[in-house]
Homo-oligomer: A and B are copies of this chain.
């Protein structure tokens, strides 16, 4: 307690500006509502952790019965506490929480971490309690962190705020963590601890009823002490909000993220423990892609990458130079680096000439540079200097096995010297026996010198691969979605309103094609005919061959029931078809959709699907077996920019087909890219569009047309 009171004055306001979440992450006084003398209870552990970690602010245990808790003066209620309180922990049964939040509001407490469980994760009663305390919080402007959560940690020595009941006490560092699951957050923190890379801030917000992951990411983004962010989630409640935040933050600093529940079974497991999100969603991965988040499927890899981000600059390209003192590990590293998109350029003659002078005769002069096991500090240094000077090299990978017959400390010192220049990123696969004191010394030189060290070549190479991936993120500008001004928004609005008034879910053909036309999405020529004569006239105007589709509200799956007849070559065929359809379909509103029949182009497919709180997913693929058998499609989140539309064409596995193969001609990609962008604008303008299928789009050497389309809107 004395120490805490002494430390009190350490907190000075030197932030650029006061942020609403500062009361949560930078509290100057904390009340623990539910502080307990019972060892190992959460109300005791949180207090113990705050003391143990050396919290620099004031601590006020709240306990109606005890005069002190863990030797710190306790107060019966928060109203008995003298002075301001920024943050309160709430560790009391859930039924009392709404009242306590009311009290916190009255007392002027700005943030509350509700560690208690028993809310939205526990059925109806819990949901009601959560609603109740949230209403009280809103009333007083209290920000709620949780409930059913671990809490936050700020490892900045200015605060040492360990507002959490976990058991890992990280050193200060530059990585900040935000995790939906406390269990995952804790082992990520532990991993940073084990890797000795330190941590800056930590947040695990459980049910996340108020302060969201997005808000925390934004806060970390603005925080100068955070160099990189680690994020774990099982999905987003408000994906659009997150996307807007992530887009900005990821340009400023790397966000390393993992989203679990990528298999159906995983999603089921996630639903069972969060009680909120279910089903495999591809949306989160698309959000990661669109916003430039570095996505991982392996949390160990993610933490290993964080180690490189915490000390190394971002490379300025994909060209890596390898220095090794052992053959095999360089081969393994090369495999992994190349797989990650890096290249190993040949060395310049200048570089080779220097190395011929400086290396041992057994050394291999090339890329990799093999300084051989007997190579010492000066050999490593010369190789490093050469690579730092090579204009064609953007990063350096080192294999350093501590051969017993070399001065390994000197090698380490030379690596550190060059690393301190921060000219190009360095990662080191450091192969040693850490149980030998001699090599512990070598390891410490590297560690203290900020060299990220790994125990396996693949692991080190993957970390460098992540740095390079962030280089690509920083340099990838997808731009803004193009706005086409030649569209007729009002007319589409009218059509959709009309459909809505007709209580339709699926639009009629005329409505559908009209909408496309209003947005200048090219459609194969069409007319609506009422009878045989109309149809023949229409066909003659359009030009044979034509396709005729029976058009009536009751017909949705037309092609299954003979409602679509293709390749009609003359008036007689049109007549026969219309008459047959009249007999087959007795709908009163039956009309005949006559359209130009296009057959010899490349069949493409595009689709749209609305996603709650996000926008729409836009899908593109090549029709036929490519979609049906191979599921070879690409999704993007609307609004789709020109660059993204371009990517959709190049990211399908069979993209080469679009260029023409086996003597076929390629398609006019720009037309398709424009169709995708116009669809994106259409659904962005009209969120009531739930689904849209353009199948097929027929693409030719010089143009592309939508041939069949379907639009589904919100019913109510």
Residues of A in contact with B (beta carbons under 8 Å apart): 40-42, 45, 117, 165-169, 179-187, 190-191, 193-194, 232, 234, 258, 260-266, 268-270, 272-274, 297-300, 322, 326-332, 334-335, 337-339, 343-344, 362, 364, 366, 368, 370, 373, 399, 401-402, 404-405, 431-436, 439, 455-459, 624-625, 628-630, 653-654, 656-657, 661-662
Contact = CB atoms under 8 A, between A and B. Distances in A.
17 contacts: A181-B328, A183-B326, A183-B399, A184-B332, A260-B328, A262-B335, A265-B338, A266-B335, A270-B327, A273-B370, A274-B327, A297-B335, A299-B332, A299-B457, A300-B455, A300-B456, A625-B662
Given A45-B404, A272-B364, A181 B661 contact: no
A383 to B, nearest CB: 15
Given A328-B232, A455-B194, A401 B273 contact: no
A328 B182 contact: yes
A297 B274 CA distance: 35
A586 B335 CA distance: 51
B433 A168 contact: yes
Contact of A330 (B269, B344, B401): B269
Interface of A is mostly: mixed
Contacts of A193: 433, 435
A268 B338 CA distance: 12
B344 A265 contact: yes
Contact of A334 (B258, B265, B299, B431): B265
A431 B186 contact: yes
Contacts of A337: 265
Given A190-B431, A193-B435, A455-B187, A273 B364 contact: yes
Given A184-B329, A334-B266, A433-B167, A625 B661 contact: yes
Contacts of A167: 402, 404, 432-433, 436, 439
Contacts of A332: 184, 258, 260, 266, 299
A489 to B, nearest CB: 38
List the 7 closest pairs (A to B, CB-CB), nearest first: A181-B328, A183-B326, A273-B327, A184-B328, A266-B335, A40-B405, A263-B338
A625 B181 CA distance: 46
A43 to B, nearest CB: 11
Nearest to A335: B266
B269 A368 contact: yes
Q: Assembly of this chain: how many copies?
A: 2
B331 A405 contact: no
Given A234-B328, A266-B335, A629-B656, 9 more contacts: A40-B404, A169-B433, A185-B328, A187-B457, A190-B431, A234-B331, A265-B335, A273-B370, A300-B456
A626 to B, nearest CB: 10
Interface-central residue, A184, A332, A343, by most chain B CB under 10 Å: A332
Contacts of A431: 183, 186-187, 190
A377 to B, nearest CB: 15
Nearest to A264: B338
A664 to B, nearest CB: 9
Contacts of A630: 653-654
B191 A628 contact: no
Nearest to A339: B263
Contacts of A343: 265
A455 to B, nearest CB: 7
Nearest to A271: B331
Interface-central residue, A185, A191, A194, A329, by most chain B CB under 10 Å: A329
A657 B331 contact: no
A451 B297 CA distance: 25
Nearest to A362: B117
A434 B338 contact: no
Contacts of A181: 326-329, 331
Given A364-B273, A628-B662, A401 B266 contact: no
Contacts of A274: 327
B433 A190 contact: yes
Contacts of A45: 404-405
Contact of A180 (B297, B328, B368): B328
Nearest to A258: B332
Nearest to A458: B298
Contacts of A185: 328
Nearest to A48: B404
A221 B630 CA distance: 42
A329 B180 CA distance: 11
A266 to B, nearest CB: 4
A35 to B, nearest CB: 15
Contacts of A662: 624-625, 628
A149 to B, nearest CB: 12
Contacts of A258: 332
Given A335-B266, A654-B629, A662-B628, A179 B328 contact: yes
Contact of A41 (B186, B335, B405, B435): B405
A187 to B, nearest CB: 4
A661 B629 CA distance: 8
A272 B363 CA distance: 11
Contacts of A654: 625, 629-630
A335 B494 CA distance: 47
A458 B300 contact: yes
Nearest to A191: B455
Contacts of A268: 334
A623 to B, nearest CB: 10
Interface-central residue, A300, A328, A405, A662, by most chain B CB under 10 Å: A328
Contacts of A366: 272
Nearest to A280: B335
A551 B674 CA distance: 51
Contacts of A362: 117
A193 B455 CA distance: 12
Contacts of A339: 263
Nearest to A373: B183
Contacts of A299: 332, 456-458
Contacts of A298: 456, 458
B335 A456 contact: no
Contact of A629 (B187, B265, B270, B657): B657
A404 B362 CA distance: 55
Contacts of A334: 263, 265-266, 268-269
Nearest to A454: B300
